[in-house]
Amino acid sequence: MSTAATSFPERNAAEVADVVSVPETTAPEVKARRARQRRQMYIAQVASYSLGASVLLLYAYDGAVSMVVPSLFWLSGLLIIGTFTVLSEAGFGDRFDDHYLTVYQISAHMALQLVFLLAVPTIGVTFLAVLFLIFAFGTLRMTSSQAVLTWGLATCGLASVFLGSDLPIGLPVATLLQRTASMLCFVLVIGQCAFLGLFGATLRKVLYRRSIELKAAYQRIEELAELDELTGSYNRRCIMRLLDAEIEKSRQDSTPCAIALFDLDWFKRINDAHGHPVGDEVLRTFAITIFANIRATDSFGRYGGEEFLLLLPDTPGDVARRMLERLRGIVADLDWSAFSPSIRVTISAGVVTLRDNDTADSFLARADSALYSAKAQGRNCIATG
């Protein structure tokens, strides 16, 4: 016999995703989606009770039970569904993490099965089978504490039936119609088991898809955490980490390593004369230009303000200087008139190579000293240190 239990595997993929996700904020669109999901569930419950009542009609037609039983069973089920529907439409469940009020729904449906088990013990096995399925479906939504609670309630109910009474709980099979009705009970129960399996498969697919999406999201978050928001180059924290790694690698492999500390000449004047939005565009254009003209093995990051740090692994000093002279010439030759006819952008840079006794701080200090020397020489030039 089918009951409200069949409503659980009827959920769509969006609902399944809600099962496995963390509690959501109750934004209007979330509330609307939840209400829609609950309506689908209640419709499935009405269909389930209708199927169950149809099977009971077969027993009643054969005389195994009173004709009142199917009607009462169906109306009682509708009363439970109607109560939770009213609460759902009023938004009562939205204030809880479990907006389905699963424990209360499962408890109400199990209580109904126990009542009819006591009232009509001659077909009690049909209600028992459904009782277990209701609990099984309910545990898909319940937390461990909720499952223990409903298990305890079910145990008390079953104890009152089996230990508190001597009712002859059975399943009538005396006539062909009774055997057909009993068969249909188990056919529907097996069907619910199949739905449970489909629900589990859907849940696994959603979990797998969510894991892929989360990995992609985490990767994007890591990228954003390493990048300077304005220029798209590495931020200071990341470029400093890469500098430490390059120093260690250079010493392990006994290969040269060079760094260059850039500074955009007279950048404050650009901001003062043309405004910070133009200054931001200059920084972005400069960063894009450098990215387009360095090697894949090089690392480029914003050191602070208009200062940038370029890591040149496996690069001796003379090669590093030539690379920086090329970059300086490219930046100086760019047509910056798109931002303002009077803008001219040049760079100064200090280039140094790693020494045996260098730390990251001393390495950078020497690059900064070389950069200061380039500025002292009139800017738009490269100095080594």
Instruction: Give ranges for CATH 3.30.70.270 in the chain.
Output: 236-384
Give the model confidence (pLDDT) of 220-230 as tens digits.
776 667 888 88
Tokens of 266: 């007279």
Give the model confidence (pLDDT) of 63-82 as tens digits.
889 999 999 999 999 999 99
How far is Cα 281 from Cα 270, in angstroms, rounded to an integer? 11
Contact 310, 302 (CB under 8 A): no
Sheet holding 307-313, edge to edge: 299-304, 307-313, 257-264, 347-353, 382-384
pTM of the model: 0.52
Q: 153: which strand partners?
A: none
Give the model confidence (pLDDT) of 145-156 as tens digits.
888 888 888 888
Q: Which residues contact 181 (CB under 8 A, 6 or more apart)?
A: 55, 56, 58, 59, 62, 64, 172
Give the model confidence (pLDDT) of 332-359 as tens digits.
999 888 888 888 899 999 999 999 899 9
299-304 vs 382-384, strand pairing mode: unpaired
Q: 302: which strand partners?
A: 308
pLDDT score of 201: 73
Give the model confidence (pLDDT) of 235-257 as tens digits.
998 999 999 999 999 999 999 99
Sign for the pseudo-dihedral over CA of 187, 193, 198, 201: negative
Q: What is the mean pLDDT of residues 123-139?
A: 81
Amino acid at 321: R
How far is Cα 205 from Cα 276, in angstroms, rounded to an integer? 49
Provide φ and ψ at 23, rounded to 5°: -55, 135
- Domain 236-384: top CATH class: alpha beta
How far is Cα 375 from Cα 377, in angstroms, rounded to an integer? 5
How far is Cα 202 from Cα 17, in angstroms, rounded to an integer? 10
Contact 67, 60 (CB under 8 A): yes
Give the model confidence (pLDDT) of 160-180 as tens digits.
888 888 888 888 888 888 888
pLDDT score of 332: 92
How far is Cα 8 from Cα 140, in angstroms, rounded to an integer? 8
pLDDT score of 185: 81
Contact 48, 3 (CB under 8 A): yes
How far is Cα 303 from Cα 240, in angstroms, rounded to an integer? 9
How far is Cα 349 from Cα 346, in angstroms, rounded to an integer? 10
Sign for the pseudo-dihedral over CA of 207, 211, 217, 218: positive
pLDDT score of 24: 44
How far is Cα 141 from Cα 122, in angstroms, rounded to an integer? 32
